[in-house]
Amino acid sequence: MNFEREGRTLYRSRHGKFLGVCSGLAEYFGFRVGLVRLAAVLLALFTGFWPVIGLYILAALIMKPEPVVPPADSGEREFYESWASSRASGLDRLKRKFESLDRRIRRIEDTVTSRDFDWERRFRAGG
């Protein structure tokens, strides 16, 4: 579930008082945090505490936490979204990336440690 609005994404804020739901909603919709908290308290008073508390906890479970460092580009944002939604897919993606890097490093090591590379290096050095 990805909510985006004018370049903003709905996250639980890391600077909130309790789970960051009100702060995240305020940042997403461009409201002041105090107004969102006041609306939540008034809603709880007029409808009963349990429905609002249940919805608040449900929202905290559904909303992804705000990234510690804001993503610089769409690739970083995509990675964070995949990581936050499914840790297993994020770990699988990291594993594939490191396996690819490992293969590249092995090819470089094979080239550098081969006899042909040594002969070529000696030839270029002049003897």
| Per-residue confidence (pLDDT) for residue 63, from 0 to 100 | 83
Please tell me whether residues 68 and 116 are part of one structural domain: no
Query: Are the CB atoms for 36 and 30 separated by under 8 Å?
Result: no
Q: Indicate the range of 45-49, 55-59, 64-68 predicted with least confidence.
A: 64-68
Q: Whole-prediction pTM value? A: 0.51
Please tell me whether residues 113 and 60 are part of one structural domain: no
Q: Which residue has the tokens 């308290």?
A: 41
Torsion over CA: 14, 18, 21, 24 (sign): negative
Please tell me whether residues 6 and 33 are part of one structural domain: yes
Domain count, the chain: 2
Which one has a higher pLDDT value, 113 or 43? 43
Domain with 103 in it: 89-127
Which one has a higher pLDDT value, 66 or 46? 46
